[in-house]
Amino acid sequence: MRIAEIRDGDIDARAGLIITDGQCMLACKPTPSSQWTNPKLDIPKGHIQAGELPLHAAIRECYEETNILFETWKLNKPRTILYDGSPLYVWEVRLSEMPPIEQLSCASTFVDNVTGIRHPEMVGYEYVSIYEIRSSGVFTKFQDGIGLCIQAYFKNETEYPFPDHRICADKLNLPDGIYTGLQSAYYITLNNGVKFKTIWGIKGRNIPCMVVIKAGFIYGRELS
């Protein structure tokens, strides 16, 4: 994996945007490097700077990586997930029409740790259909953890949380938020390593799932 370039003033948290017209979403193609030869698709995102609001960081990172500049009122449906061991703050931007890919460009760069050559962070872009997002194929197309976050936006939001499937979260010592992980039978192992028993069982092993911790309770569902 390519080691992310950390600038002076960056903090251990990220922010990004999911840009969609309801039929497809914008995906960024990270530039391959000596240590990251076949990177998967990503969303416009990056590290938050010290003193910067996550919402402002998401707008800035999107502008740097796509050349699209949004005003704050365009950002909706905030979510927070754990990504690579640190918080990732995500918003949805809903457009009536997606911009032509040929108008997109990336101004932010990174230095290849082996060659020392500086490259743009994104080498290209593509639109991913809602059909692909709702299928299990999204997990193979996008970086680990990002696929689950994307699916959460495009699933019918009335599907979760299941109020009758809640369990007490007091003993987990985790703050309110959205967490991803894998479920086997009656146990869930979150991506942060926390494991706990649930009251909703499944058949199979290591099924991708999402849980929501809110007001001391866990709500969850399988992501198929």
Q: Do 113 and 189 fall within a single domain?
A: no
167 shares its domain with 125: no
Residue 90 shares a structural domain with residue 134: yes
Do residues 97 and 204 both lie within one domain? Answer: no
Whether 2 maps to a domain, the answer reads no
Choose one of 106, 127, 154: the last residue of a domain: 154
Residue by residue, pLDDT tens for the chain (224 residues) are 334 455 667 788 899 999 998 888 999 999 887 666 778 899 999 999 988 999 999 999 999 999 999 999 999 988 887 777 778 899 999 999 999 999 999 999 888 888 888 999 999 999 988 777 776 667 678 887 787 778 777 765 433 333 334 455 556 777 777 777 887 777 788 888 888 776 556 666 777 777 777 666 666 554 43
Does 88 share its domain with 181?
no
d(CA 144, CA 137): 12
Residues 24 and 122 in one domain: yes
Domain that holds residue 31: 10-154
Q: What number of other Cβ atoms are within 10 A of residue 160's Cβ?
A: 18
User: Which residues sit opposite 221 in a β-bridge?
Assistant: 210
Instruction: Report yes or no on 1 lying in a domain.
Output: no
The residue type at 4: A
Is residue 90 within 8 Å of 149, Cβ to Cβ?
yes
User: What is the rounded CA–CA span in Å between residue 17 and residue 60?
Assistant: 10
Same structural domain, 53 and 150: yes
Cα separation values, 20 from 24, 90, 97, 115, 177, Å: 6, 13, 9, 36, 23
Read off φ and ψ for residue 155, nearest 5 degrees. -75, 155
- Residue 149, domain member (yes or no): yes
Instruction: Note whether 84 and 119 are same-domain residues.
Output: yes
**Phi, psi at residue 130, to the nearest 5°?**
-65, -35
Return the pLDDT at 25.
Answer: 92
Between CA 111 and CA 89 the distance in angstroms is 25
